[in-house]
Structures are given as C-alpha cells and as structure tokens.
Structure 1
Amino acid sequence: MIRGERYLKRIYKGDNKLKLLDQRYLPRWAVLSIDICICIFSFLAVYFIIVGTPLQFYNVLSTPYRALAVIGINVLFFYIFRTYAGIIRHSTFTDVFRVASASFGTAVALLLINFATFLFFGQKVFLTTGILLYAFISFTILLFFRISVKESYQFLKNFASGNLKKRVLIVGVQDNTISLGKALTTDGNMPFTLAGFITENPHSKRIKILGKPVFSVPVSSNSNSFTALLADYSIDGVLVISDSLTIKEKNQIVEACLANKIEIFNVPTMEHWNKREDISTHIKRIQIEDLLERQPIAIDSDLIKQDLEGKAIMVTGGAGSIGSEIVRQVSNFNPKIVVIVDNAESALHTIELEMKDKFPDLKFSTQLSDITNEGRMERIYNKYNFDVVYHAAAYKHVPLIERNPREAIRVNINGTRILAELAVKYNVGRFVMISTDKAVNPTNVMGASKRAAEMYVQSLQNSTNVCTRFITTRFGNVLGSNGSVIPYFRKQIEEGGPVTVTHKDIIRYFMTISEACQLVLQAGTMGKGGEIFVFDMGKPIRILDMAERMIALSGLKPYEDIDIKITGLREGEKLYEELLNDGETTLPTYHPKITVSKVVICNFKETHDAIENLILLTKTERKKTLVKALKTLVPEYVSNNSVFEELDKKPSLNN
C-alpha cells in the first residue's frame, strides 16, 4: 500500500520517465486525437448495436466510407466550436456546452445530408436511428472523459499534497448561502468539500440543493440531533455567512460547534467574494470580533456627503488605526483634497500606497510631521486652507505614558493647542477632536492629558472672535486598533500562551474601528461648537471571558492547551471605564448612538494660562511636579496603581 502511494505521488509530481503530469496542460493536438478516438469507438459501438437488430444500414456508402464521413463531420464541428481549446482538468460548463454543440451540430448536419440525398436521389445515406445513437454515445463518452480527467487530477493533487479537504456544512438556505455552496462545488482549489446545508426550518426536510442534502436540525450546544449529524457525516467545519445571521444566532452556533470540537468559519457577504480568486482567501476562522453583541450602526450618508463633498480636509494621526480609517471613510465622500499628517514614516508610506490603489482619482497629500512642530503645521494650514480638521494624533498607551508624562503633555495637550489655535487663525470651519473614555474621571496621565485637551478646545470655543466650530467625540476601546487587547491575545495564543489578563474582573467597552469612525463623521455634522459627543458603546465586556472565548475559537482549551494568567493591574489602569465625568449629564441627539455631554465649560484665559504653565514646566521640572500641575488643571484626576498616587494624599492635620 505504501509503495502504491509512493508511485502515485511520483506520477503527480512528474518524477517518472513519461512525466505525463509534469505538463502545464494537455496539448490541443492530444485532446483532439483523444476526441477522434472516442468518435471512432462511438461509431463502432453504434455499428455493433444495430447489426444485432432488424434495422439495416443503407448501401449508398460502404461502412468504412460511412465512418469516414461521420467522423469527418464531427471533427469539423470540433474545429468550429473549439472543443479542444480548454484545459481539460479545469473544464467548466462552457467546455461542456462546446462539446454538446459539436455533437448536436454533427447530428443536425448528418440529418440534413440525409434529407438532401433523399430529396434529390430518392434514398438516404445514414440510418436516422444510427445518427441519434451516435450523437448520444459520443457526447456521453466525451463528457465522461473530461469529468474523469478533472476529478482524477484533483484527486492526485490532493493525495500528493496530503491536503485533505474539510467536510463542511453551510448554515442557511438563502440565495447567498446557495451561491457559496455553488462556489465550493465548482472550484476545485477550495480547501472545503460541501456536505450539505443546515436549517431550522422543518419544511426543508428531504430537499436537496446542488445535489447536497438539507438537514433540518436545531443548532445548539445541547442538541442531540445536531451532535449526531456531525458524527454521522464526519463534519469537520461549519460555514457562516457574515450578515445572514444575528449576533445571537452566531453565538448559539459557535457554542454548539465548540461543544462538538467543530471548526467555525466566517464568510464575507456576496459582494466581497464575487471574484473566484477572492473566495478561499476570505473564508477564515470566525473571530471574537464577529461575535460581540452590537447592533448595526446606521448613518446619514447624504448629510455627511453634503458636509464633506468638495471640502479640503486634514486628518492628523492619519496613518494610525483610527486616523487611517477616518481617511478611508472621508475619501468616499468626494472631498476636494485629503491631507494626511503623521510622524510615523513607514505607516504613512503604507497609507499613501493604499490611497493610490483604492482612490486613484482622489487628490490627497501625505505630510510627514510632528503636530508639535508649530512652524511646520502653520505652513500646512496656510497651504491648504482647510475646511475640516479631524484631530486623531495622540499618545494613547496608558502604562507607557504613565512613565513618560512629559510626552503626554507635549503631544496630547500642546499638540492639540497648536492645532486648535491654527484652526482659529486660518478660519477652519470645523475642528473634530478624537478623545477617549479614559478622559472621564481619569486615573492615569494619558486620560488626564486628553481631558485637558478637551477642556482647552471647549474653552477656546467660547473665547472672542472664534468662528471655528470645535467638536469633541468621546468613545472607548476600538477592536483591532494598534496595541488593543484582541491582537495582543491573538499573538499570545499563536505563540502557545500564556494569555495574560490584568484582573479577573476588568471590563471594557468595545467598538469596531469602522463603527467609531462612522460616528465621528456623523457627530461632525451635528456640532454647533463646544460639544462633547459621547458614543453608545453597548454592553461592557469582561476581558477574562473574551480571552477564554478566543482560545476556544482557536480550537484549543482554556487553561489546558493555553493557560491564562492574572498579572495585576498595570500602571494607571482601572477596572472599568466611564463615558461621563461625575456631575455630567447627557442630552439625546437625532442619532440613537450619539448623545451630547453637558459639562461645565472652563474659562478660556484660566485654562490657557494653566496649559501654558504646564508646557513650560516640561522643560525643567521633574515628573511629579508635572503631574501635580496636571492634577491642578484636571481636578477629577486621581491616580490609580501609579507612583503618582502619593500626590493625591491630603496633608495630615498634625503637620
């Protein structure tokens, strides 16, 4: 058996004297020669079938001349329909249609010859029964030859590579799932073989789609019928199309599959896999992001288009995860120009290449610059005469910024001050600042610096002679952003663990990057100036639960295959984030996911002077002096799990 397998692999890889399968494809002359041999065999088969019946051949032509005429006409139609032109191992419906047309054309031509000879000479050349029988037999064998070559090639390919296809079920029997099933059954290079469809509709029993059964079973972790189905049909995986199910239904299916150790794959919607080459690359294991219970966000695209079309727009931090997504979404609304500012050279180069590829007709400019370089930023403002600025540039990693408070003050506070003042100076219509939930009752330097930036742009709005509308947007963690927890966990799982969680009870709000940026654009259309728009982040998620789920989705067992370790809260980290400061309230807007925070707006002069003093201190003073001044500016800032906690202690009455 082992020797036989070795020979099969040698044949496929071309390691033999003939090297039959080492060819890119069978030459056309070889295909035509095989087809002619099939025609000869078909003629002989018809001859011996009819000889044994009461039917008699006409004597106008001898049998050899009659065979020559039939096969010659058939070859003529092979040439007309180019049946030999396709690659046999990749035969499609088009190739089958060509063969059928050639066979049909041959039969029609022979019948016409019969009719003509009978009309002019009173006798026929070919037996009508023989013509029809020949057409049927020849077409059947020609078709069988092509199917055999295609299937044999695929078998040898899979056998030699050792890549056995996964037997999968598709959830649902809608148009999009049937289209997916068709793609699996027609594309031989797919790593899946379709075993059937699953539906909970009881009326779908005994139905077959694409020749595959439809199973009507409840999909849940405690369903005996679902478990039995997986075992009886040796199912390796289940395919789910992104938008065909609700998040709740997806989670039910995932729980059932995980309980039965079955892989779950997520498939993009139809418009993303309409090209064959894209299908297999887009079918991936379902990710934790696909299972977070979030309602879809609807935005008023017409209003956003009216707001951005034909406008000059700048995006700071435009090469980062949030900024780059804002750039992509803004670019869909036909702006006059998009200027992308960032100090990360490689990331800026990447977004530049992407823009050239995805938006070839859009005018855009990439500017390598630090936002704290006031002279450089002023030249950019002066050159482009912006209508809208989206300010996403910031330092955001909490533990790192806790150890480097000078940089937080320099970039998050002073950088925002520079950009905001230039916006006023150059009459920018709208300045949208991207803030964070960590600015709410901050417990770390990063959050306090963002709160200080919020305070500054709000107070600037109420100073004299300001036409720019300053709008702040505040939201929590975004899935997949640089440094976020999900890519970090994924990397730890790939490396074999352990997965590290800072506290067993820590929770966070999450939103996808796309959702967050959609709401940023929508909020930008609402602002009259000075508002802080707060986004509805949905339900908070326990990070430990997320880690356990991600390990299970990877086909592994939490605490057995991959361990989870509790490492303790990091510097400046707190158990839960808030979206409103103490004493803040919100008012609704016309968008259900966006509310306006009602906050006390600070006096501009006092805020300006305090920030100027803070910036001066960065040049000479030590960290604790800087943080103490920051706490004075942001009185609700109380450090947590940080060396700066001692600054919050009230002096003893005995001193």
Structure 2
Amino acid sequence: MIKKYIFDNSKHYASKWTVLFIDLCIVGVSFILAYFIRFNLSFNFDVQRLWTQLPIVISLFLISFLISGSYKGVVRHTGIKDVYAIFNAICLASIAIITIILTNRYLDIVEGFTIPLSIIIINSLLTFIALTAARYVFKICYESLLVSKGSPTKNLIVYGAGESGIITYNTLTNHSKMKVKVVGFVDNNLLKVGKQINGVKVYDKSILTKDFVRFHNISEVIFSIQNIRPKQLRVLVNEIVDLPVKVKIVPPVEDWINGELKVSQIKQVQIEDLLDRQPIKIKNSKVVKDFEDKVIMVTGGAGSIGSELVRQICKYNYGTLVVIDQAESALYDLQQELKQAGFFNFIPIVGDIRDKNKMRVLFEEYRPDRIFHAAAYKHVPLMECNPYEAVKINVAGTKTLVDLAVDYDVEKFVFVSTDKAVNPTNIMGATKRIAEMYISCRQQEGRTKFITTRFGNVLGSNGSVIPLFRKQIEKGGPLTVTHKDITRYFMTIPEASQLVLEAGAMGKGGEIFIFDMGESVKILDLAKNMIRLSGLHYPDDIDIKITGLRPGEKLYEELLANGENTLPTYHDKIMISKVRNINYTKTRTKIDELCISNLFFKDNVVQLMKSIVPEYISNNSDFCKLDANNEQSETTKAAKSQIAQLNS
C-alpha cells in the first residue's frame, strides 16, 4: 500500500516549507537531547530554563536555514552540496547563539539567559547528524521502493575510474528513473586496481570476459575517459566489441549541459567516434572580421553542407543572410530550427539556381558581398542515368551564379566542390570539375575572388554510406558494399562547413583548398564495425553482401588530379592545390557549347564533357564506349600521321 502510494506520487515533491518545519522539529529534539546527554542522561537541570531557551534557539536556526536555503533541496536527490548547506546553516546558527549569549552576559538584556558552551557544541553535532541522516534515510528508502517496483535493475561497467568516471557513476545512481547498478569500474591504472570508489570495486580490463559479463548480468559498458583519441578508443572498443554488451560513451566535458553531465547525453558509441583521424581545429579564425556587416548568400542552404554553413554563419556579426534552396520542406525545417535557437536575422527563399531571372532579381535586391555555393546534385549512380540534370544544375546553375557574381561585383564566391572532381570517372564528378574550370576562367577577369573547396565524403549527410548502413541494420540486413577493397575519405559536416567558411575568409581568389583527411577508410571494415557496435555479430546475425561497383564509381578517391601539386597555408592540415594551366578562352567556349547542347537535349553532351575534361574516363558505365571510340580515333589519327610521314 505504502509502496504503491509512493510510486504513484513519485513525480510530486515535498513542499520546501514542509521540509523546513521538519528540520526545525529536529533542531528542537536535538537541543533537548543535548541537555539530556550533558547531564549524564538525566533531568538534573533547570527544565524551566530549557523551555525559555528553546524558542530562541529554534528562531535563530530558522533564520540561518532561510539564509542558507538548506531546506530548498529536493530530498530524494540529496547530495554533497545539500550537506554543505546544512553544515553552513548549523555553523551560522551556533555562532549567532554564542554571540547573543556573550552580548547578554555584558549587557544583561535578558536576565539569567545563558547556555553552556558544551550544550551548544553537542546540539550542533546532533543537529548535523540528524538532518543529514534523515535526508539520506529518506533517499535510500525512496530509491529502494522505486527499484522494487517497475523494470528490473540494469547492471553496467564504467570504463575509467578518473574524475569523469566518478561523475558518470554519480549521474547514473542519482537518476531516479534509471534502475541501474554499477558493478564496477575498469581502469588501466594499476595503482587504482583493487581499490573502491563509493563502495564499488575498480578492476583491471582483463576481467572483461564473457564469463564475467554473464555472471554479473552486465548489459552495458560506458566509456568515461576525457580527451581519448579515436585510435585509442577504437582499440579499447575492439577489445570488448565481441562481448554481449552495448558500448556507450560519455561526451567531452565541454559538451555537458551547464557543466553538468545528464544521463541523456550518454550515447551509444558511433562509428564516427572510431574513425582514425584528428578533427581539424582552426585557431585565430579570420571569419569574424571577414563577415562583419556583410550580406551573405548561401545556395543549397537546406542541404547537408548548406544548412551547417547557415548554422555556423548565424553565430557571426554579419549584415544579412540570404538562404536559397528549392526544397521547401527542408528549408522550412531549417527556418524553424534557427528560430528556436534564437536566430532571426536570415531570409529563407525558395528558388532554383537554374532560374536566371529569379537569381538576377535576388542579386539586384540583396547585393550580396559573399556567396557560398553549395547547391548541387551529388549522387553518383543517379547522375550517371541523368546527365541532362547533372549538367543543368552542376554546370549551368553554377555558371549562372558565377556570371551574376561578376555582373554585381560580389567580393568573394566560394564554391563547394568534391574529391570526385579529381580524375573523374562519372558524370557527377565531371560536372563538378567543369564548374571548377569555369570558375577559373572567370577568375582571370579579376573582378570577383573565386575560391573552391574540395573534400571527401561527409559523415551523416543525406544519402551517405553510414545512414544507409544504419537503416540496413535496423531492417536486419544484409549490409551492401559495392566492392571488398573500396575505400573512402571521411569528414564531419561541421568540419566541412568550417573549412568552407575559413577558405572564404583566407582566399585571395583562384585557389582550390584541400586538406589532410588522414587515412582513407575501407568500407568493408566500416560495415563490420557498425554491425559490432550494434551489439550484433557478422556474419551470424547480419551478413554483408558485395554488390559490385555502381556505374561511375571509383575504388578509391583522390584529392589531387594528375599534374596538380599543393602549396602550404597557415594551417598544417589545409593546403592549396596548385592546378595545371588551361586554355581559358577555349575552355570557356566549350563550356558555353556544353550548356547550349544540354539545353536542346543533344546527344553529344557527354562527349563534350570528355573533351573539356580529358582526364574524365568513365568506369563501369554505359559511357565507357565513348572512351573506346576516343581511343580508336586517337589510334587512327596516329596511324594516318605515320603513313603520311612514310609517304613523304
């Protein structure tokens, strides 16, 4: 009955005035007991004087409780700070009592009013013990009643017995809705092994075996090690990934909410946490000064990269931010997100960069100083089947914006490109490379500073491999990998956006910025690790199916084309690609011809692309025949030349 009543009313909290009343009652009882103890557990003292002193003592404790606020704490969540508040209140009250007694002794305000010092000391000790014990007894009873009702207790291990591990332990055990039991800490520091923290033993990592996990019914291992490197975390995770437990991680302390760790922040280890690359951190960024009072335009502003660009730009002191995207739902979601975050100085516009008239109206109205062009079609297999759309957006759309940027004297134009533009093997990569080349052509006029950024795959972006694998795991598999040896570079969306902004600030025009992305990741290994992190086993629980390379897909990506070198910048991870020279007049003429041919659905569009980008060699695509024809044509030309030489 009592248990049911407590459980049903667990969401209600006792009034602070009720707590204050109980505390004052405890003070009164403690004061009477102090006299009783002082006089050898007897009543050989002036009881009438006791009743005179008691209201004064209680009044002084009331004032001290009100000042310290010790009664305001939620009793079921009593912690060390609440004990400090009680201690401070008792000290304050005791000092006040002693001060009044000494003052009365000299001024004789209340005749005969005095309390022995021993009584004050005993009362202080009894009150402190009673108030603290009462709170902890209630807390323990409350937790034990809640645990016995509802879902069973979950046993777990905290990996890391440092300060972060102890905070994690306190967060888990103090959470009323979490029925957890920390079986032990695991730490690599042998000086800590064998000792106890809050009554919980510290073990060496060698105890993490299937027998130990099964015996203690452990369901989770939580890594609580601050500033751990991804490579080190990957090693530790690999040591326990075959155990039947979920692997979770505590976020860095700077991500804690108001400096406090919340249970909701303890997340399952993601594959992104294990990628062997150091995140790029830019110090002394030039962006702040570059954006001051500027009108900034972002195309593709609701996409993966574009939306993150907008989020980061919103934090700066700019003039106006114009966000353009043709996807109204995604743009609406971004608009609501920014408003909820307290950002209102932006203008969302539904528009298509292929609509030159609409774009001209926007340029005329807002007169942008900075343009970040992230609008593009990016999915390789889809674009391989739709070259018309790829050219229309990635080439003609970019050309429209570039031309308008020059016409309206835009200071800087930053183009978001891709590593697939390097030695392209597909339509998408080739269109991005052609867009880079057109930008290089217009850069020669020296009116607008055109800057290009190149990077690899972005973690978690729409349609990327990691979200695909997660969906396949949720459905029970199999995971699909196109080739057992395929590799890719990865980076996070915030990093990619940070690079784009920094490139815009530091670029002087004509540069292609690339950066050190660490080692490329084997997609097959990525798939296996994601299966393990989901608590499943390959191939017993989920299999991996090799499907074969898709049209236009490479086994590996490159950041530099043949004939390109790099120049250093102020940041050792960011470099400038030194591109080979091209015939700007001829290239621009061919790109104009490509856009016109595409506009009229001519069959020579892909052939024109290959003539503009000679290194574009199709792979596993219907367009491979064009490369064969080109090779045959070159062979025929060479043979004719040799015959002509022989005849002469």
| Aligned equivalent of 1:374 | 356
Residue 417 of structure 2 aligns to a residue whose secondary structure is strand
Instruction: Tell whether 2:69 aligns with 1:89.
Output: no
* Aligned counterparts of 2:62 and 2:570: Cα–Cα separation in 1: 67
Instruction: Report matched runs for 1:397-546 at 5 Å.
Output: 397-462=379-444, 465-546=445-526
* Aligned counterparts of 1:113 and 1:151: Cα–Cα separation in 2: 38
CA 1:413/1:37 → structure 2, altered by over 3 Å: closer, same or farther? same
Residue 13 of structure 2 aligns to a residue whose secondary structure is coil
Question: TM (normalized to structure 1)?
Answer: 0.84
Aligned-residue offset at 1:529: 3.1
Gaps of 5+ in 2: 637-648
| Aligned equivalent of 1:78 | 62
Instruction: Write the deviation string for residues 453-491 of structure 1: whole angstroms up to 9, x where unpaired.
Output: 1121112223xx441122222221111111111111112
Q: Which moved more, 1:149-158 or 1:41-50?
A: 41-50
Residue type matched to 1:471 in 2? I
Aligned-residue offset at 1:93: 4.7
Instruction: Write the deviation string for residues 553-587 of structure 1: whole angstroms up to 9, x where unpaired.
Output: 12221222222222222222222222233343434
Query: Contact 1:173 / 1:198 at 8 angstroms: preserved in 2?
Result: no
| Aligned equivalent of 1:282 | 265
CA 1:126/1:459 → structure 2, altered by over 3 Å: closer, same or farther? closer
Instruction: Tell whether 2:310 aligns with 1:321.
Output: no
* Aligned counterparts of 1:561 and 1:401: Cα–Cα separation in 2: 34
Query: Contact 1:32 / 1:84 at 8 angstroms: preserved in 2?
Result: yes
Instruction: Report matched runs for 1:176-325 at 5 Å.
Output: 180=168, 183-184=171-172, 188=176, 198-204=186-192, 211=198, 215=202, 217=204, 219=205, 223=206, 236-240=219-223, 244-275=227-258, 279-325=262-308
* Aligned counterparts of 1:342 and 1:413: Cα–Cα separation in 2: 17
Residue type matched to 1:10 in 2? K
Instruction: Tell whether 2:382 aligns with 1:394.
Output: no
* Aligned counterparts of 2:513 and 2:38: Cα–Cα separation in 1: 87
| Aligned equivalent of 1:18 | none
Query: Contact 2:16 / 2:72 at 8 angstroms: preserved in 1?
Result: yes
Aligned-residue offset at 1:39: 4.7
Aligned-residue offset at 1:172: 5.7
Aligned-residue offset at 1:273: 1.0
Aligned-residue offset at 1:246: 1.7
Instruction: Write the deviation string for residues 528-569 of structure 1: whole angstroms up to 9, x where unpaired.
Output: 433333332221111111011011112221222222222222
Number of residues of Structure 1 aligned to a counterpart in Structure 2:
629
Residue 453 of structure 1 aligns to a residue whose secondary structure is helix
CA 1:96/1:243 → structure 2, altered by over 3 Å: closer, same or farther? closer
Residue 286 of structure 2 aligns to a residue whose secondary structure is helix
Residue type matched to 1:536 in 2? D
Residue 26 of structure 1 aligns to a residue whose secondary structure is coil
Query: Contact 2:155 / 2:217 at 8 angstroms: preserved in 1?
Result: no
Residue type matched to 1:77 in 2? F
Task: Give the aligned CA root-mean-square deviation in angstroms.
Answer: 3.6
| Aligned equivalent of 1:628 | 607
Instruction: Write the deviation string for residues 317-337 of structure 1: whole angstroms up to 9, x where unpaired.
Output: 121111122223334443333
Aligned-residue offset at 1:9: 5.7
CA 1:124/1:227 → structure 2, altered by over 3 Å: closer, same or farther? farther
* Aligned counterparts of 1:467 and 1:283: Cα–Cα separation in 2: 51
* Aligned counterparts of 1:527 and 1:29: Cα–Cα separation in 2: 64
Q: 1:66 aligns with which of 37, 40, 50?
A: 50
| Aligned equivalent of 1:593 | 573
Q: Which moved more, 1:328-337 or 1:501-510?
A: 328-337
Instruction: Write the deviation string for residues 494-531 of structure 1: whole angstroms up to 9, x where unpaired.
Output: 23322222222211111112222222233334544333
CA 1:272/1:413 → structure 2, altered by over 3 Å: closer, same or farther? same
Query: Contact 1:458 / 1:602 at 8 angstroms: preserved in 2?
Result: no
Instruction: Tell whether 2:124 aligns with 1:144.
Output: no
Q: 1:640 aligns with which of 614, 619, 643?
A: 619
Aligned-residue offset at 1:420: 0.7
Residue type matched to 2:574 in 1? I
Question: TM (normalized to structure 2)?
Answer: 0.85
Residue type matched to 2:606 in 1? V
Q: What fraction of aligned residue pairs are identical, expressed as a percent?
A: 42
* Aligned counterparts of 2:462 and 2:452: Cα–Cα separation in 1: 21
| Aligned equivalent of 2:640 | none
Query: Contact 2:64 / 2:92 at 8 angstroms: preserved in 1?
Result: no
CA 1:12/1:493 → structure 2, altered by over 3 Å: closer, same or farther? farther
* Aligned counterparts of 2:416 and 2:225: Cα–Cα separation in 1: 29
* Aligned counterparts of 1:489 and 1:88: Cα–Cα separation in 2: 46
Residue type matched to 1:520 in 2? V
Query: Contact 1:322 / 1:392 at 8 angstroms: preserved in 2?
Result: yes
